[in-house]
Structure formats: C-alpha cells, structure tokens
Amino acid sequence: MLVVESTDTSGDPTRSATQSEWRARAEQRLKSQPPDSGPRRSPAQTEQLVVELQVHEIELEMQNDALRASRAAVEANLERYTDLYDFAPGAYFALECDSRIRGVNLLGARLLGRERSRLTGKRFRVSVSRNDRSTFDAWLARVFAGSAAVSCVVDLVRGGHLAHSVQLEATLSADGSAAHALVKDIASQRALEEQLRQAQKMEVVGQLAGGIAHDFNNILAAMMLNLDLLHRQPDLPAETKSSLHDLDVLAKRASSLTGQLLSFSRRQTTQTVQMEINAALTTLLRMLERTLGEDIRCVRLGASGELWVVGDVAVLEQAVMNVCLNARDAMPNGGTLTLEASAVDFDAAAALTDPNVRAGSFVCLRVTDTGCGMSPDVLGHLFEPFFTTKAVGKGTGLGLCSAFGIAHQHNGWLGVESRVGSGSTVRLYLPRLTQLDLVRNAHPPAPVSKNTGHTILLVEDEPELLRASARALKQLGYQVLSARDGPEALEVWARSRVVIDLLLTDMRMPNGASGLQLAEQLWAKKPSLRVVIMSGHNTEIAAGGEGPKRGYTFLPKPFDLETLQRAVCQQDCGRTTGA
C-alpha cells in the first residue's frame, strides 16, 4: 500500500522541508532532461508542477485514510461476528447434504466434545444415536429440499454413551450448498418436563391415597368399635382376650398408616400434640423393618429418660421415613441403619458457628447409614427440590427437601455429615419440652357420662360403621335413631315422636347436604341441638368456613369406643368445641 506524507506545511518545519525537497526534485528532473526533449520550463511552470505534486500527495493520503478506516471497520465487524458466532448461546453448524460439517462454532464443538479443527469434514450423523439416525437423515433431506420451519429432536452420543437430547432447526444457504443448523441442548427442558409429569403423577397418587384412606377410616372405625364391644363381653377366655388385644394393636397401627396417607395427599392439616420421641421411634422402627427390606439391618440405640417435643406425629414420621428411604438407596448391597434420639443443649457460642443452630435445649434424632456416602458437591445441593443423583425412575428429588421443610415447620433444622465411602449421618433437631412445659400444657380428661338416656340421631353412609356406631351408643346407654344421608335424617327428624338431643353425623355424605349443612338445617328447627361431626379429613371441616357459631365437637375417624364416648359426652354435658 502506497503511503505518502501530507504536504500541509502550515507551522510545521518538517512539512516545509518536504516542500523544498519536492521543488528540488522537480528542478533536478528538468535539468536532467536532454536538450532535445523540449523547451525548458520556466520557474512558474516548475512551481505549478510542485503544486500538482502536492495535490496528488494529499489525494493519496486521503485514499490511504479511507483504506485504513475501511480495514478497521472490516476488522471490527469480523471481531463482532466472531464473538456472536463463537460465543453465541446456541450451537451452530454448517452442514453439507451428506451431513459433513463445513463450519462449527465453539459451543457446537463443545457439544460434540471435540476440537473445532478436528470436526471440519466429519459427518455430524456419527454423533447422532443409532436409534435417531433415520430421523436425522429424513430431517436433513427435508432441509435441502427447501422445506420451511423444519425441526427434529434427536439424542447425541459421546464416547459411545448418551450425552444430550437436542433440537435441530436449519435453513438452507442462499446458494443451496449448506444447511445452517441451530442445535439446542434441551436436556434441562426434558428434565423439567419429566418433573412436571412426576408432579402430576404424584398429585394423582395423592388423590388416590386420600380416597383409599377415606374408605379405610370407615372400615377401621367399624373394626375398632366392634373390637371394643367384644372386649366388654364377660367371661372371655384368655386366648380370646389376647387375640382381641393383638387385633386392637393392629387396627391402631393401620389407623396411623391412614393418617400418613392423608398427610401425603394433603387432606389432613397439621395436628400438633405433645409426643415422646422414643415411643414414636419404637412404632416407626417396626414399620421400617418391613419397608427397608431384609438386607438392611435396623438398629435402635437406647436413650435415657423421656424426650418430649411438640409436633404432628404423622408429618414427623414422614420426615424420618424419607431420610431412612434415602439411606436405604445409598446401601444397594445391604447395610446397617442406626436410629438414636438424645437430648442436646446449645449455647450462644455454638449458635454463632452455624446459622441453623439456635441456643436452647433440643432433641436430636440421628439416622446413620453405612452406605456409599456423598461428595461435597452433592451435599451442597442436597435440599434443593428435584435434585437427585439416583437413576431415572428411582427417585423424585423431593424426599430430603420435604424432610428439610418439615424440620423448619417444627422450629427445628436438619444437619448432614457424609463422606464418599464412609456413609452418612442425618440429624433432625426439634425443640425439647421440659417437665414444666408438660405440666403447664397438660389437659385433664373430659368427664365421661354414662347411661344418660338421651336420644342421638346418627347419620353415616357406610353401613358397617353405621351399625357398629349404633350398637356402641346403645351400650353406652343412649337411644339411637339411624339415617344413611341428609335427606333420610330430615325424614327421621320429621316423623320422630321423641326429643332428639344430639346429632352425630359424618361430614361427607351422598345425596346433597354435608354434615355441617345438615346441622345448620336442624339448628334452625332446634337451636339447642348439640352436634358431633365425624370425618377422616379435618380439612373438610376447615373448608366449611368458620363453622356454626353454636359450636360442635369434631370426632376424627377412625375412633374407638372410648373416643366416641368422650366426644358424645363433651356435647352431652353441654361443653362445645369449635373445629
């Protein structure tokens, strides 16, 4: 490229020297001409030649400036294009009709796991899984046939293993020699779709569990009442009494299971009570031994003294069960699961070392396994929703997240220690009740009346429970009028010649009115009517609004004879309890 200096001489001695040089060169050129070359130029002509040379020099410099500006613009555009192409959020490929790669950006090379220089000329088809190659071939053929808005989804392989699910979209180049393809990694999108399907499936399972638990509650209530009635039979053989006792224990365990099903389906609101952790662990351990399998040995370490906390029994059991199931999955070849409860105290200094720790007295429920353990990276994401290291179909990533949330709902926290190859320990901390708290919060049992002779209108759509409840109430000394639903109850009320003192009704009934609606209708006829409402779902009571202002007693299903007697007595003695 020709570059000359400017001839602008204003104020610049260098430029003046340059002008003198040009004049000297012009004069030398004139002197060197042979005599016969023509007439000699006059000084004026020489001066004119110098001026023309200066103008030409300026024009050349202006052209050089324009060239330099054009080159700078080209380089800037090339840099911007390189940035956009190489560092774009999508993988770009230029593919020939036989899938040979003509060009690829950095993300595309990273997606295939190879250097860009080694991809040029290679067939993209080789990186597509064998099951999807026919789909890919048909897609590429449609692209080169000029089809608009052509896309397809295939799986890519790397090193012989499935690497990514991708979506391919392409347009044909102007000369038709290459397909410009955008390759989107949709693995995360697929994961979200799978999480949505799993959540929808769990919602269906929850609804199914709630429906099953509702029927089980009615069956168990009838069983428990009949067992209690048999217990009251005189002169029972010892073996019969022992069998009845075992059946009673099994029925109560089944009742606990239905409570967990209802909690899982979210049809049961939190019911906090004072609970002793060691007793709860004893019950839970029997369930774990059946759930975890024969190759997992469950060990319960003893604890000195009683450890009392406030919590929802079913919800806390669910949290511990989730932790234990996660431990089971970490021991695919079997192992030992150890449960232990102990009292711990934290001072203010300990609380400063861990943001979760609070000063005070707590119960620590420790679950230790001899499994494969977890790396620090996994521990950092352990309580994130849907995070799981298990294979597809082996876990939802919600177990420990749910346990973490339950711990915080009970004013506690979870702590986890683990090392690869050395197992894991999960500690659940819950605020501990002192003996003073237990005495202050203790409620004396409600008085139980006997043989009142009062009349009860019993409304229940489950035939077995209706018969068992009627027999139990009659044995308690009440007169009983039975009905299977709201309309039949109103008919019984209308034709009854005796005074009905109390309404004992199921909350959920067929043929129209619910238990609360039936109570409202009968209160309009008799404001002094006392009401007990039965339900296996306490959320049904909450869904009814604030409830009648007159009050009623809520009787949760399933119930035994003593619980039924106490609920009826609360109303029979004039004590009302809102839901």
Determine the angle formed by the axes of helices 43-86 and 13-31, rounding to 10 degrees.
120
**Residues 435 and 565 grouped into a single domain:** no
Window from 271-285, 439-453, 513-527, 546-560 with minimum mean pLDDT: 439-453
**Residues 375 and 484 grouped into a single domain:** no
Range of the domain at 157: 91-185
Q: What is the CATH number of the domain that holds 469?
A: 3.40.50.2300
- 529: burial class by Cβ within 10 Å (0-12, 13-18, 19+)? buried
**Residues 391 and 504 grouped into a single domain:** no
- pLDDT tens-digit series, residues 248-302: 878 877 776 676 566 555 555 556 778 888 888 888 887 787 778 788 888 888 7
**Residues 408 and 276 grouped into a single domain:** yes
Measuring CA to CA, which residue among 565, 569, 535, 567 is closest to residue 553? 567
The pTM of the whole model exceeds 0.75: no
- pLDDT tens-digit series, residues 89-99: 778 899 999 99
- pLDDT tens-digit series, residues 24-39: 666 666 566 555 555 6
Is the torsion defined by CA of 287, 288, 293, 297 positive or negative?
Answer: negative
**Residues 78 and 99 grouped into a single domain:** no
- What pLDDT was estimated at residue 2? 38
Residue type, 465: L
| DSSP for 84-111, written as a single string | HHHT-SSEEEEE-TT-BEEEE-HHHHHH
Q: Which of 84, 103, 127 is the last residue before a domain boundary?
A: 84
222 belongs to a structural domain: no
| DSSP for 284-342, written as a single string | HHHHHHHHH-TTEEEEE---SS--EEEE-HHHHHHHHHHHHHHHHHT-TT-EEEEEEEE
Neighbours of 156 (CB within 10 A): 20
- What pLDDT was estimated at residue 263? 58
Measuring CA to CA, which residue among 388, 474, 413, 334 is closest to residue 198? 388
Q: Which of 385, 413, 441 is the last residue before a domain boundary?
A: 441
Contact call for residues 502 and 531 (beta carbons, < 8 A)? yes
- Give the angle subtended at the CA of 573 by the CAs of 572 and 575, to the nearest 5°: 100
The mean pLDDT of 414-424, rounded to a whole number, is 87
* Residue 14 pLDDT > 70: no
CA distances from 245 to 64, 236, 442 (A): 107, 12, 28
DSSP letter assigned to residue 10: T
Write down the mean pLDDT value for the chain. 78
CA distances from 36 to 24, 39, 46 (A): 22, 8, 19
Q: What is the CATH number of the domain that holds 354?
A: 3.30.565.10
Token pair recorded at residue 124: 């993209």
**Residues 302 and 436 grouped into a single domain:** yes
95 belongs to a structural domain: yes
**Residues 348 and 417 grouped into a single domain:** yes
Contact call for residues 260 and 316 (beta carbons, < 8 A)? no
- pLDDT tens-digit series, residues 50-85: 788 888 888 888 888 888 888 877 777 766 766 666
Measuring CA to CA, which residue among 477, 504, 475 is closest to residue 492? 504
Element (H, E) at 360: strand 360-369
Q: What is the CATH number of the domain that holds 145?
A: 3.30.450.20
Q: Specify the higher pLDDT residue, 179 or 546.
A: 179
Residue 41 pLDDT class (50, 70, 90 cuts) = low
205 belongs to a structural domain: no
- CA 128 – CA 509 distance, rounded (Å): 58
Q: What is the dihedral of CA 263, 267, 269, 275, to 10 degrees?
A: -30
- What pLDDT was estimated at residue 23? 62
- CA 446 – CA 440 distance, rounded (Å): 17
- CA 384 – CA 405 distance, rounded (Å): 11
Q: Which of 185, 200, 234 is the last residue before a domain boundary?
A: 185
> What number of H helices and E strands is found in the chain?
18, 17
Contact call for residues 471 and 497 (beta carbons, < 8 A)? no
Residue 435 pLDDT class (50, 70, 90 cuts) = low
Contact call for residues 64 and 87 (beta carbons, < 8 A)? no
**Residues 44 and 119 grouped into a single domain:** no
219 belongs to a structural domain: no
- CA 420 – CA 373 distance, rounded (Å): 4
Domain count, the chain: 4
**Residues 385 and 491 grouped into a single domain:** no
Residues β-bridged to residue 123: 100
The mean pLDDT of 305-324, rounded to a whole number, is 84
- Give 415's Cβ-side CA count (13 Å radius): 14
468 belongs to a structural domain: yes
Ranked by mean pLDDT, which of 63-77, 136-150, 283-297, 357-371 comes out on top? 357-371
**Residues 75 and 97 grouped into a single domain:** no
**Residues 176 and 325 grouped into a single domain:** no
**Residues 72 and 138 grouped into a single domain:** no
242 belongs to a structural domain: no
Measuring CA to CA, which residue among 69, 132, 267, 217 is closest to residue 558? 217
202 belongs to a structural domain: no
Residue type, 526: K
The mean pLDDT of 549-561, rounded to a whole number, is 79
* Residue 436 pLDDT > 80: no
284 belongs to a structural domain: yes
